[in-house]
Amino acid sequence: GFPAVISALSINLNNSIVMPPDLSAPDGFGEIRIADRDVKGSFDPEMVLASQHDFISDWKSGNKREIFTGAIGTTPGNIYEMHLPETYYQELADGDRDGIRTLDIGFGTDANDNELSLLFT
pTM for this prediction: 0.83
Q: Percentage of residues in the chain with pLDDT exceeding 90?
A: 85
Query: pLDDT (tens digit, 9 = 90+) per residue, 52-110?
Result: 999 999 999 999 999 999 999 999 999 999 999 999 999 999 999 999 999 999 999 98
Buried/exposed code over 31-68 (b: 16+ C-beta within 10 A; e: otherwise)? eeeeeebebbbbbbbebeeeeebebeebbeeeeebebe
